[in-house]
Structure 1
Amino acid sequence: MDPPAQWPGADGAPVACREKLKMLAENHREAAQVLRDAFEDAVLMGVDEAAMRRILTDLVAALPSPKRP
């Protein structure tokens, strides 16, 4: 999966800084690989595919915001 063509900033404008875009793309690639590996391992060990998708979605949804005190 390719990273998004644009990364929306908090103000709605796309992030334009090349260094930030480079870091975001790298993080996207790394996260995609880790999630793909975890998904494949679980399914190959007998976990229901749809259930694992929900588990991974819930995991992302539960991430705390770094902006919260």
Structure 2
Amino acid sequence: MESPKRWMQADGEPVSCQEKLRVLEENWQEVQGILRDAFEDAVLMGVSEHAMRAHLTDLVASLQSPHHGHKA
């Protein structure tokens, strides 16, 4: 999966700082690789694809914002 074409800020404006965009792209690639590896390992060890996708979805949904009490 390609990284998002635009990274949107809370105010609806796209991130334009090149350094921030570089970090976001690096993070996207790293997370994608880790999730792919975890997914493949789980499936190869007998976990159903459906169950693993549900676990990963739940993991993302449970992430807390670094802004206490603020949801993105």
Answer whether TM exceeds 0.5 for this pair.
yes
TM-score, normalization by structure 1: 0.96
Alignment RMSD (CA, Å) = 0.9
Is 1:36 matched with 2:36?
A: yes
Gaps of at least 5 residues in structure 2 are: none
Measure how far apart 1:5 and its partner are.
Answer: 0.3
Deviations 1:37-62 (A, max 9, x none): 00000000000101100000000110
2:7 matched to which residue of 1? 7
Identity rate, percent: 61
TM-score, normalization by structure 2: 0.92
Q: How many residues align?
A: 69
Q: Return structure 1 stretches of 4+ with deviation > 6 angstroms.
A: none
Gaps of at least 5 residues in structure 1 are: none
